[in-house]
Structure 1
Amino acid sequence: MTISRRKLLGAGTGLALTGAMSTACGSNTGREDGGSEAGKPALAQWYHQYGEPGAEQAVRRYAAAYDKAKVDVQWRPGNYDQQTAAALLTASGPDVFEVNGPSLDQIQGKQVIDLTELFDGVRDDFNPAVLAPKTYDGRLWSIPQTIDTQLLYYRKSMLADAKVRPPRTLDELIDVAKELTSDKVKGLFLGNDGGAGVLGGTPLYAAGLGLVTDDGEVGFDDPAAARALGKIRQLYADKSLLLGAPTDWSDPSAFIQGLTAMQWSGLWALPAVQKALGDDFGVLPFPKDGGSGKDTVPVGAYGAAVSARSKHKDAAKDFVKWLWIEKADFQEDFALSYGFHIPARISLAKKAQKLRSGPAADAVRFATESGYAQPLLWTPASQTAYQDALSRIIKDGANPDTELRSVVRKTNDELQRVRKKKP
């Protein structure tokens, strides 16, 4: 099974990691029992199995270029999150590993080491949105590698023919989507489930709220949350949404083929859209809602972390600093030569040639100015409760106030639970 980086943003803006898993990891870890080769420490580095051609060869090339340790890259097929969660509890897991996190359980369980010192002098050059879920107690636990983000694609010619402007508010999105809908074309595509799976907390952030506040409280216990989700339901009720498309939201085919005038999709889709449509498209953030709202784009980033069970912790730290902080050419190559992504370093994103103009440059600006990532304290149980409620609101017309009250209670219980586990 291959997994592209877009999967990071495929379920409510993030893949929820769980704690200890029972899935076996296999005996070939690559660590060589913590030994060394030619006087150099031997490090095992794990990646999940990317779908983008050339990505595996690239990371092996990066590892081979490092001369202070023997780095053995492990390309891990199957359920990578389960594999790493289980391996971190053993002495035979990776020294360095890729992770969407680490998870709160992994940090609180002291399964990963603090990498804060590696960011000295460069912390402000990392996109703050993707640093946030990798930060706990003010300490940083992994180094972001590349950024994926979601955007609203719109067809310029279709909007011009309908004499409507690109929507700048959620109310305008509802009106424009309805105006653009005809017998042959729908105004908007948010996925075949009406947006319940992909939007996640995005409408809450667009309303000026969030999933969890900075001080660890429920972030959407506010009437504005119900109003925002009610407006997503309005899109469904107006029959402005494309449903039953041949491919889902992550694939731009419906947009390219003219089945919809607007589509919510990922940055990874931009090269295919540009190849098919030329200049006849633009991108926008999810539009703000209400006077306290703000333009919003979800972002996600896998990070490089170091196992607390590594026998070469200092060597592992030196390696991840070299690769993901010092080696700017490798970071840009990894982001833009195998798929289409944004380097995690703001300075690199601004100067990368492929990101300096047109919709790509707009996407970088939106991710920098309006990006949010799923909070570290947003647990799998909270996410499941919220996603289920969002689906009932959109597809069944359930009362947003009633549904959200139940999710607020569940989320509050979860936040209390994880705070009690704090060492």
Structure 2
Amino acid sequence: MSASSMSNWNRRSVLRAAMGLAAAGGLAACGGNNGRGGGSGSGANLVQYFHAYGENGVEAAVKKYAKAYKGANVSTQWITGSNFEQKLFAALLTDNAPDVFEFHPQIQLVKSGQVADLTDIISPVKSDFNQADITSHTVDGKIYGVRMIDDPQFFFYRPSMFEKAKVQVPTTLEELIEATKALTTSKVKGAYLGNDITPVQSPLIWSAGADTLTPDNKPAFNTDAVAAGLKQMRGLFTSGNLLLGAPTDWWDPSAFTQGLTAIQWCGMWAMPAMQQALGDDIGIFPFPKIGAAGKQSVINGGWSMFVNAKGKNVEAAKEYVKWLWIDQKQYQEDFATSYGFHIPPRTSLAESATKLKTGLPAEGVKLFNQFGHFDNIGWTQAMISSINDVIANSIRKDDDPKAQLAAAEKKVDAELKKLFG
């Protein structure tokens, strides 16, 4: 689900900003609705933090779920603006910290004791979750956080424009670059990858046959194939065939629906809005392969619910999270499919969700299952930020990709030593 004002944040994967909990200390706690509406129970007062989803109806739905809960009075802080993560981290350091908050699995939240162990509430239904989601939330055998939605991202394209330009769906980066050239006209750019190109940074690594980290937490992205991919992307950036400086960023489908581009990198959440604007003139394909050893890839973003382990009502907060995100399957399906399209992380729900069974959403599920890559809990904000720098310096500027990857590897290595010794 997109947030209409989070233009420079890759909200659906891990945070980009290299900002740790301690660094957020100087920021004020976030304002918002502190009203204690919530349920009619006489139990604890709980506050939950959500970022402002862009799709109509999500805020009302979240508040409706909270009101239906009788075990506590649950109020919702709906955080608008482009810096949800900064506001969240700042608030976590104050007396006004939320009891429950949505975020992505991040190992520093576990190591700092910020998030509660939820193994006991998840274990009874663990087998009904996508096991890759369980893995991405597990540290030393304990599960931190309940996945709420899985959000695959891919390239969306206009079949009518492809047909007119006699372009086939690209399966390699070379083909993608050639397609953007053939599709570019005086009014339409060939492709849009976001205003700063960073949304595709992880798929670029995976599609080149590399990875962010090895299974034993060593840097795995500094390869010749990734460097070659960066060089090709630099050529695309300077070609004049990319849409640059669009009015809305990659997570919003406006550039695509308004006909500014023939291809846009975006998420499955935007499908309903795209279909409303363009009908059946929409197709999708994964990030194409790079080099001989490469493989097409799909990034799985998404959001998870965490309990603040340093809050005043940890047990009450865990009960609420269990009630909403484990027991109330009708609310979970509503959240995943009634506003934007998302894949429920519960296998039983993913299989029964009617809206995902046919057409474009079914194709999205298929690509997700075939090519999907999930969060790596060890891949932190600072590490993401170091790859942001690689993208900025080797694609948007013209620095040597190998040198940039080597510099990033040094930074990531230092972070890994801090976290894992």
Count of residues in Structure 1 that have an aligned counterpart in Structure 2: 413
Equivalent residue for 1:210?
211
1:271 positional shift: 1.9
Contact 1:12-1:387 within 8 A present in 2 as well: no
1:409 positional shift: 1.3
Equivalent residue for 1:94?
98
One-letter amino acid matched to 2:305: A
Equivalent residue for 2:63?
60
- 1:217 counterpart SS class: coil
1:40 aligns with 2:43: yes
- 2:412 counterpart SS class: helix
TM-score by length of 2: 0.86
Contact 2:32-2:78 within 8 A present in 1 as well: no
1:220 positional shift: 0.8
1:9 positional shift: 6.5
- 2:192 counterpart SS class: coil
1:415 positional shift: 1.1
Closer/same/farther in 2, CA of residues 141 and 28 from structure 1, 3 Å limit: same
Instruction: Write the distance in 2 (CA, Å) between the matches of 1:335 and 1:7.
Output: 22
- 2:249 counterpart SS class: coil
The structure 1 residue matched to 2:166, chosen from 123, 145, 163, is: 163
One-letter amino acid matched to 1:338: Y
Once the two structures are overlaid, the 10-residue window that deviates more, 176-185 or 222-231, is 176-185
Closer/same/farther in 2, CA of residues 63 and 391 from structure 1, 3 Å limit: same
Instruction: Write the distance in 1 (CA, Å) between the matches of 2:391 and 2:267.
Output: 21
- 2:63 counterpart SS class: helix
1:323 aligns with 2:324: yes
The structure 2 residue matched to 1:25, chosen from 22, 25, 29, is: 29
The structure 2 residue matched to 1:113, chosen from 111, 116, 131, is: 116
Instruction: Write the distance in 1 (CA, Å) between the matches of 2:248 and 2:350.
Output: 30
Which string of whole-angstrom CA distances, capped at 9 and with x for unpartnered residues, describes residues 200-239 of structure 1?
2210011121212221110213222112222222322443
Equivalent residue for 1:415?
416
1:371 positional shift: 2.2
Once the two structures are overlaid, the 10-residue window that deviates more, 47-56 or 397-406, is 47-56
- 1:120 counterpart SS class: helix
Contact 2:30-2:90 within 8 A present in 1 as well: no
Which string of whole-angstrom CA distances, capped at 9 and with x for unpartnered residues, describes residues 335-366 of structure 1?
23333433232332332222221111111222
1:225 aligns with 2:229: no
Closer/same/farther in 2, CA of residues 396 and 163 from structure 1, 3 Å limit: same
The structure 2 residue matched to 1:181, chosen from 176, 184, 193, is: 184
Contact 1:30-1:43 within 8 A present in 2 as well: no
Equivalent residue for 1:364?
365
Equivalent residue for 2:141?
138
Instruction: Write the distance in 1 (CA, Å) between the matches of 2:206 and 2:242.
Output: 21
One-letter amino acid matched to 1:18: G
Contact 2:30-2:91 within 8 A present in 1 as well: no
Equivalent residue for 2:10?
10
Contact 1:12-1:200 within 8 A present in 2 as well: no
Contact 1:6-1:148 within 8 A present in 2 as well: no
- 1:201 counterpart SS class: helix
Which string of whole-angstrom CA distances, capped at 9 and with x for unpartnered residues, describes residues 95-141 of structure 1?
3222233x333211112211123222533443445445433223221
Instruction: Map 1:298-309; keep pairs closer than 5 Å.
Output: 298-309=299-310
TM-score by length of 1: 0.86
1:19 positional shift: 1.0
Identify unmatched segments of 5+ residues in structure 1: none
Instruction: Write the distance in 1 (CA, Å) between the matches of 2:176 and 2:30.
Output: 49
Closer/same/farther in 2, CA of residues 393 and 124 from structure 1, 3 Å limit: farther
Equivalent residue for 2:235?
234
One-letter amino acid matched to 1:314: E
RMSD of aligned alpha carbons:
3.1
Equivalent residue for 2:260?
259
Instruction: Write the distance in 1 (CA, Å) between the matches of 2:226 and 2:283.
Output: 28
Closer/same/farther in 2, CA of residues 162 and 90 from structure 1, 3 Å limit: closer
Which string of whole-angstrom CA distances, capped at 9 and with x for unpartnered residues, describes residues 371-421 of structure 1?
22443323333322221221222233322112111111111111112224x
Q: Taking every aligned residue pair, what percent have the same amino acid on both sides?
A: 41
Contact 1:12-1:198 within 8 A present in 2 as well: no
Contact 2:222-2:402 within 8 A present in 1 as well: no
Contact 1:29-1:93 within 8 A present in 2 as well: no
One-letter amino acid matched to 1:377: G
One-letter amino acid matched to 2:387: Y
Instruction: Write the distance in 2 (CA, Å) between the matches of 1:240 and 1:27.
Output: 42
Closer/same/farther in 2, CA of residues 51 and 251 from structure 1, 3 Å limit: closer
Closer/same/farther in 2, CA of residues 191 and 42 from structure 1, 3 Å limit: closer
Instruction: Write the distance in 2 (CA, Å) between the matches of 1:25 and 1:246.
Output: 30
Once the two structures are overlaid, the 10-residue window that deviates more, 263-272 or 47-56, is 47-56
Instruction: Write the distance in 1 (CA, Å) between the matches of 2:144 and 2:5.
Output: 20
Instruction: Write the distance in 1 (CA, Å) between the matches of 2:265 and 2:365.
Output: 16
Closer/same/farther in 2, CA of residues 219 and 138 from structure 1, 3 Å limit: farther
Closer/same/farther in 2, CA of residues 87 and 217 from structure 1, 3 Å limit: same
Closer/same/farther in 2, CA of residues 263 and 224 from structure 1, 3 Å limit: same
Instruction: Write the distance in 1 (CA, Å) between the matches of 2:325 and 2:300.
Output: 18
Contact 1:99-1:305 within 8 A present in 2 as well: yes
- 2:62 counterpart SS class: helix
One-letter amino acid matched to 2:112: G
Instruction: Write the distance in 2 (CA, Å) between the matches of 1:185 and 1:56.
Output: 34
Instruction: Write the distance in 1 (CA, Å) between the matches of 2:255 and 2:333.
Output: 30
Instruction: Write the distance in 1 (CA, Å) between the matches of 2:126 and 2:259.
Output: 43
Contact 1:147-1:341 within 8 A present in 2 as well: yes
1:18 positional shift: 2.3
Instruction: Write the distance in 2 (CA, Å) between the matches of 1:299 and 1:106.
Output: 20
